[in-house]
Structure 1
Amino acid sequence: MELITADLLIPGDGQPVRQAAVVIENGLIRYAGPARNAPDTTGATRTSAPVVMPGLWDCHTHLFGAPDLDPARVLTVSPELRAARCLL
């Protein structure tokens, strides 16, 4: 079990919560809300952060399909080949 305490919790919906806690158990968020209402976390690994946004994950990416990170090389590869490389 892991306990993350934070000065501010920004939920996916609803108002931000000050003095918050997030409890993670078996890889899942068990609780996210005011720290005073958190379940018993005796023995939990403890971490703190200024701000938490539980459940948010970064899925941002750029799929160029180029053989390297040189943006100029994108123009030297056909759109069909770039598209195929993006599927790999």
Structure 2
Amino acid sequence: MSAPGPENPPPLDDEPVGSIAEEAFKLFDAMTGSATDEAAQHQCSTAWCPVCRVAGLVREHPEAIASVTTSATALVRSVRNLVDQALTPQEKQ
């Protein structure tokens, strides 16, 4: 049997899949480490875990977070301006 990796992921738990809200709650708990001690002690030994990849990216490139934040702020401002213009009555010419 080969070791788990990107080509050979470990088997999934036998736990049934819940509703979208239940699964989102499970994901939130796993990411914040508040679900169990096991989640708080998560140590990824593979490169395919998306949570570990994002955490590693943030650790290695903190400037990326600043760039994403700046871009997201500009996007929100643009959408707000667009909505304001759409809701403002046009003056009659």
TM-score when scaled to structure 1? 0.19
Structure (1 or 2) with the greater helix fraction: 2
Larger strand proportion, structure 1 or 2? 1
TM-score normalised by length of structure 2: 0.19
* Larger relative contact order (Cα-Cα within 8 Å, sequence gap ≥ 6): 1
